[in-house]
Structure 1
C-alpha cells in the first residue's frame, strides 16, 4: 500500500516508544482543529510512508511528518507539529530560527537513546475511542 497525499499532515511516530506515544497523546489532546493525522511506524500506513521516503521503519533514525508530497524529519518535523497546534504551542516554532546543524544533533541524540531514557512499551499504544478518527 502506498499512501497518497493527504488533506492533513501525517505524523508517523514510534508507538512502542514511551516518549513518542506521550507526544502523540499530546498532539491528540491539543490539536483542537484536528489538523494532524497520526500513524504508527509499526502500522501499515506508517510503514508504507517510511518506505516511500527510503527509510527503514524497523530502524528509524527520525520520526517524520508527511505533508502532501513533502517530508519533514528531525527537528523540522517536531517544530512543524508545534506550529500546527496553534497558540500557545506555536511559540515553540521560534526554535526554527536556530540553524538546523544546531537543532538536529540534539534531536538525533534523543531519538537514538529514546528507549534507554524513556522506555519501551511491550505493546503499541492504543488511542482513546474519541481520537481513533485521527489515527490511520
Structure 2
C-alpha cells in the first residue's frame, strides 16, 4: 500500500499515543502525514508488507519505502510537522544509543502512566481523511 504520503503507525488503544497523533494532526496543517493504528487491518497489512516484527509496539513511520522505528520514528515525524513543533527534531543531536532506551522506557510504561482504551480511537469527521 502506498499513499504518496508518509504513514504513521501508532498504538490505537494507547492514550499517550493518541494524544501525540492529535498533536501531529494539529501541527501538520498541509496534511502531509497519514495515520493508521497498529491494530487496524491496514496497520497489520503494512507490518506484513514491510516485514516488521509484530511484537514491535513502537510508533512507526513509513516514508518512501523506508521504515523508522522507536525514537527515530518520533523524530522523523516531528521533522515533517510545522513550526514550532518541528523543533522537537533538534533532539536528533542525541545519539540513538541514548535516545532509544529512553523511548523504550516510556513505551513500556505508557499504559501505566497514561492509561489505555478498550478500542482504537475513531477519528472525528473533520480528520477522518487523515486515517487509512
Q: TM-score, normalised by structure 1?
A: 0.91
Runs of 4+ in 1 over 3 A off after TM superposition: none
Number of matched pairs = 131
Equivalences for 1:1-136 in 2 at 5 Å?
3=1, 5-51=2-48, 52-56=50-54, 59-136=55-132
SS in 1 for 2:117: coil
Q: 1:70 to 1:97 in 2, by over 3 A?
A: same
Q: 1:128 to 1:61 in 2, by over 3 A?
A: closer
Q: What CA distance in whole angstroms lies between the structure 2 residues aligned with 1:134 and 1:109?
A: 29
What are the ranges of 5 or more consecutive residues in structure 1 without an aligned counterpart? Answer: none
Q: CA RMSD in A?
A: 1.2
What are the ranges of 5 or more consecutive residues in structure 2 without an aligned counterpart? Answer: none
| TM-aligned CA deviation for residue 63 of structure 1 | 1.4
Alignment check: 8 A CA contact 1:6 1:67 kept? no
Alignment check: 8 A CA contact 2:11 2:57 kept? no
Q: What CA distance in whole angstroms lies between the structure 2 residues aligned with 1:92 and 1:130?
A: 26
Q: What CA distance in whole angstroms lies between the structure 2 residues aligned with 1:25 and 1:77?
A: 16
